[in-house]
Structures are given as C-alpha cells and as structure tokens.
Copies of this chain bind each other. A is one copy, B any other.
C-alpha cells in the first residue's frame, strides 16, 4: 500500500490490510497455501512485519478467523428477544454475515482450512464451540452443546452450497428468501424439541 500511494500507512491500517489479506488467503489457498510471504505481498508489507505482529501462522489464523466483535455480540444478544422468533433472528444474523465479504471470508476460510489441516480443524472447533454455545446456553439448559453443533453444521452447509458449490436455486435466492427457509430449522435447533 505505502509503495502505491507514496504515504506510509498507519499501524491500524497496516494491521487491517494484513488481516484482510490473511482472511482471503486462508479462504482461497487453504491453511498450507496461505504463507506469511504471500499474505505480506497481498497486503503490501514486509513479511517480517507479519511475523512481528502475529508470530506464528496458528496465531494469525486464530486472530483473523475469529468473528468480528459486533457479530459475536449480536449472537449472544439474540438470546434476549422473544423465544418464538429466536430462529428468525439467528437466520437474519447468519445470512447478513454470509452476505458481507469479510465475514463470509471467515466462514469459508474456516471450512476450507478445517477440511484440509488438522490444526486448523482444532482452532475452528474451539472458536465455533465458544461462539455458538454462548448463545445456546443463554437460551436453554436442554442439550445446549448439541444445539450449538447443529446450528454450526447448518451454517457450514448453507455457506458451501450457496457461495462455493453454487447450487441452484439456493445461490440465486435473495437473502430474505434464504432467511425464510433457514428460520424454522434454526428455531428447532435453538429452542425446539430435538428428536
């Protein structure tokens, strides 16, 4: 970036550029293909700076693959509305996050890396479990861990079908239509009878 504009980017912009480049790299090239060198090149910084900021690839992955604070807060916040519409609120949040390029990269990067690299699978398990269990335990004490797993599985399945495998009609439905279809599934997973 600095080489293009002739101005030095501030430390916050530099970190953001590295994080965006890392997210795209993990999503598009997988865990092994996303190297400090290629991420630094995409972000327009020296590879040594990426090493200085994040130390290890595992640490970088953990940092950029965490949900943005507003999405994580939104998830927990869902628990405070009426129970009968919890599934719809979750569907709205999930579809909104998948439609936004930055959060979509996080979800697709997690899937791509977890399916190709055991260490990435461990990290994904940790983060998904933590994020979603906060929501399900706030809603019910009936099998909240299993409910979190089911929600996570559904998100992964929809993300792959709609944005990667591009299956019709799912990939050309409007976000609102996808919310309509997901809401009843999430409603049961969150607060309905599981069997």
Cβ proximity bits A121-147 to B, threshold 8 Å, 1 near / 0 not: 100110011000000000000010110
Residues of chain A whose beta carbon lies under 8 Å from any beta carbon of chain B: 30, 108, 111-112, 114-116, 121, 124-125, 128-129, 143, 145-146, 149-150, 152-158, 160-161, 164-170, 173, 180-181, 183-185, 188, 193-195
Q: How far is the CB of A22 from chain B (nearest CB, A)?
A: 17
Closest CB-CB distance, A104 to chain B, in whole Å? 13
Beta-carbon contact of B195 and A165 below 8 Å: no
The complex places the Cα of A180 from the Cα of B165 at a distance, in Å, of 28
Can you list 30 A-B contacts with CB-CB less than 8 angstroms, sorted by A residue number? A30-B116, A108-B115, A112-B116, A114-B160, A114-B164, A116-B116, A121-B164, A121-B165, A125-B166, A125-B167, A129-B167, A129-B168, A143-B169, A146-B169, A149-B168, A150-B181, A152-B157, A152-B161, A153-B161, A153-B170, A154-B154, A155-B157, A156-B157, A156-B160, A157-B157, A157-B158, A181-B194, A183-B195, A184-B193, A185-B188
